[in-house]
Structure 1
Amino acid sequence: MLHQPHPYPYSMPIRIVFNLHINPPPMPRCLGGGTLSSKLQKWRIGKLKLTPMTRLQYAVDAALGLAAVHDIDGEGLSSVAHGDLKGQQYLFMNGAMKLGDFNRGRFLRRNSTAPQTACTYTIGKNDGVFRSPEEYNYLPQTSAIDVYALGSILYEILTGKPVWDEKDSKDSRKFIMKGRLPKIDKKILESDDLVDVALREAISMCYVFDPKDRAKAADIASYLEEKQSELQKITNVTSRTSIKRQKTDEKEMMGRPKNEIQLE
């Protein structure tokens, strides 16, 4: 029998309730793996080792989870906005990272006068320092707010620090409203590590002031998957080259006189 793929590989299933908000089904008591935020916090304080490729995998999964929610009604126009995207909402379940907690989520109706766009909405109180400029300016919102928030998650995956960690929350929100971006340490900003480069580019795709110009979650997921594939190929080639070199060295050692080997 062929294995059937899980119907929700990157997000928790969504349940509609009578107030037209979006909620997940009851959460299982034992998730086992914790949240993305908890893993990044342990990494930050030195209690967990995360390799660059592991962090890139987290970034890929975070983007895929959001893309799955945005495209729940098929590719193209988003019909759902999460509305509260942050690391705590990504849960590790059976080895997979899934997006949950849709209590601030909104269904997005198609605009009857402009069918290629969705109707906008607003929420009365937007807290935190991870949200988009339009949220803190209390302007009409779309699913693009989630993409900006994804940038804040990727920022923490890149730097190990929560976004705007060194600033007062009120001041940070004012900066975001004006389009200012959180600083990245010079060492990370100038790093030529391929994972750092990929994460910086993905963040720049998210942190776009005008929501109309912001990339879609699916585009960011595709970009990160592409970079991940490229890095895996490089890693595989490097590994094969290293093994081949090791075998060559072993053959050379076996062909040399014993006394010559001992003298070294």
Structure 2
Amino acid sequence: MNWVRGDSLGHGTFATVNIVVPANGSTFFPSPAAVKSSLSHNAGLLENEKEILSRLGSSPHIINCLGHDHTIENGVEFYNVFLEQAAGGSLADQVKKHGGSLPESFVRRCTRSIVEGLRHIHEHGFVHCDVKLQNVLVFDNGKVKIADFGLAKEKGEKHGKCECRGTPLFMSPESVNDNEYEPPADIWALGCAVVEMATGKPAWDIRDGSSIWSLLVRIGVGEELPKIPEDLSEEGKDFLGKCFVKDPTKRWSAEMLLKHPFIKVDSISFDKVHEPLSPPSPSTHFDFPHWASTVTASLPSSPYSDEWPGWSCTPESRLRRLVTDKRPENWSELDGWMRVR
């Protein structure tokens, strides 16, 4: 494949996202396309994403993977995954662009697409494990698609007893209490995402100085549930009530939710969003605490720390950052294009 690494669309501790520009008349890539890259020796999550996207097959509600390769750039080996580019960035970007919340008609349409995507994922035997607005991308035709499958897993796949997987603000009670990450956990996270679309705020009311541990206790212990927006329609409130059920066996599935009046096809408009889209910014995390997606056996004491970027890393490296001042390596922004082969 002949391609040129174009402008940066975003970056994390272990991966970058850039525009792909076909080189030397290459017709391999549709336009536009993006490349997500990690250092080859630390590309486990990106390799997992490529594998799961390949096994999921095509869906109009899931980001399309265009292939992968390895490159040597300035003497360093990278693993690259090619994806279709979302001109509108993420739903998180759209919330900021619209002043902190989205119109309910748009929320309904976006939610319908996300649930369609989750049904496809669950029917094919997988769990996304990190559903949130930053991982739902918006295209210039107004469609939205689920992206970022680095933390995704097969249904029934077991993990370590002390592992924390995903983003704490979106974790389900069974994930906190029993380390259980199955399709119902995605539905709980979906509910949290709908609340953020409608209000621009997290589903859980948190204060400065709050610890992640206190949040996890609230999620896992007692009867407290995420706050359902008062301004949402009765259909919307009922939809969220079906997502926020403590018992995962009683929580509605994606298949069931598709029949709910809040997102039934005949009750919502699928017209294109006509307003200009903001520039993409895949790493945006609102103006809230940067509680990052993670697979780790350790958690920071406070959510209000800058040291937890939106990409996963190993328990060892997270522990090192807890007890020292060592910061992760930051890849510098490219000033121009670099030819790779």
Task: Quickly name the TM-score band, shorter chain normalised.
Answer: 0.5 to 0.7
Equivalent residues of 2:66, 2:83 under 8 A apart: no
How far apart are 1:215 and its partner, in Å? 0.8
Task: Choose between structure 1 and 2: higher strand proportion.
Answer: 2
How far apart are 1:217 and its partner, in Å? 1.1
Letter in 2 for 1:12: I
Letter in 2 for 1:99: I
Which moved further from structure 2: 198-207 or 134-143? 134-143
> For 2:95 and 2:248, how far apart are their aligned partners in 1?
28
Equivalent residues of 1:35, 1:89 under 8 A apart: yes
Residue in 2 that maps onto 1:240: none
Residues 16 and 131 (structure 1), Cα distance of their counterparts in 2 relative to 1, 3 Å cut: farther
Letter in 2 for 1:176: I
How far apart are 1:231 and its partner, in Å? 5.9
3-state SS of paired residue (1:174): helix
3-state SS of paired residue (1:104): coil
Residue in 2 that maps onto 1:90: 136
> For 2:90 and 2:134, how far apart are their aligned partners in 1?
6
> For 1:33 and 1:215, how far apart are their aligned partners in 2?
30
2:133 corresponds to 1:81? no
Identity %: 23
Residue in 2 that maps onto 1:204: 241
Residue in 2 that maps onto 1:31: 86
Equivalent residues of 1:145, 1:211 under 8 A apart: yes
- Picking from 144, 149, 155, the partner of 1:102 is 149
Deviations 1:150-185 (A, max 9, x none): 11011112333122243433322211011421234x
How far apart are 1:146 and its partner, in Å? 0.6
3-state SS of paired residue (1:229): helix
Larger Rg: 1
Residue in 2 that maps onto 1:130: 170
Calculate the TM-score normalised by the size of structure 2. 0.50
Structure 1 unaligned spans of 5+: 1-5, 18-23, 73-78, 109-118, 233-264
Residue in 1 that maps onto 2:216: 173
Residue in 2 that maps onto 1:254: none
- The count of corresponding residues between Structure 1 and Structure 2 is 193
- Picking from 41, 50, 67, the partner of 2:96 is 41
User: What do you get for the CA RMSD once the two structures are aligned?
Assistant: 2.9
2:240 corresponds to 1:214? no
Task: Choose between structure 1 and 2: higher helix proportion.
Answer: 1
How far apart are 1:99 and its partner, in Å? 0.5
Residues 216 and 32 (structure 1), Cα distance of their counterparts in 2 relative to 1, 3 Å cut: same
1:1-264 aligned at under 5 Å gives the runs: 7-13=58-64, 25-28=81-84, 30-45=85-100, 50-72=102-124, 79-95=125-141, 96-108=143-155, 119=156, 121-122=158-159, 124-126=163-165, 127-167=167-207, 168=210, 169-178=212-221, 179-184=223-228, 188-189=229-230, 191=231, 196-223=233-260, 224-226=262-264, 229-230=266-267
> For 2:180 and 2:197, how far apart are their aligned partners in 1?
29
> For 2:254 and 2:139, how far apart are their aligned partners in 1?
22
Residues 15 and 31 (structure 1), Cα distance of their counterparts in 2 relative to 1, 3 Å cut: closer
> For 1:104 and 1:151, how far apart are their aligned partners in 2?
19
> For 1:162 and 1:200, how far apart are their aligned partners in 2?
16
Calculate the TM-score normalised by the size of structure 1. 0.64
Deviations 1:112-166 (A, max 9, x none): xxxxxxx353361234211101111243332211111111011112333122243
Equivalent residues of 2:92, 2:134 under 8 A apart: yes
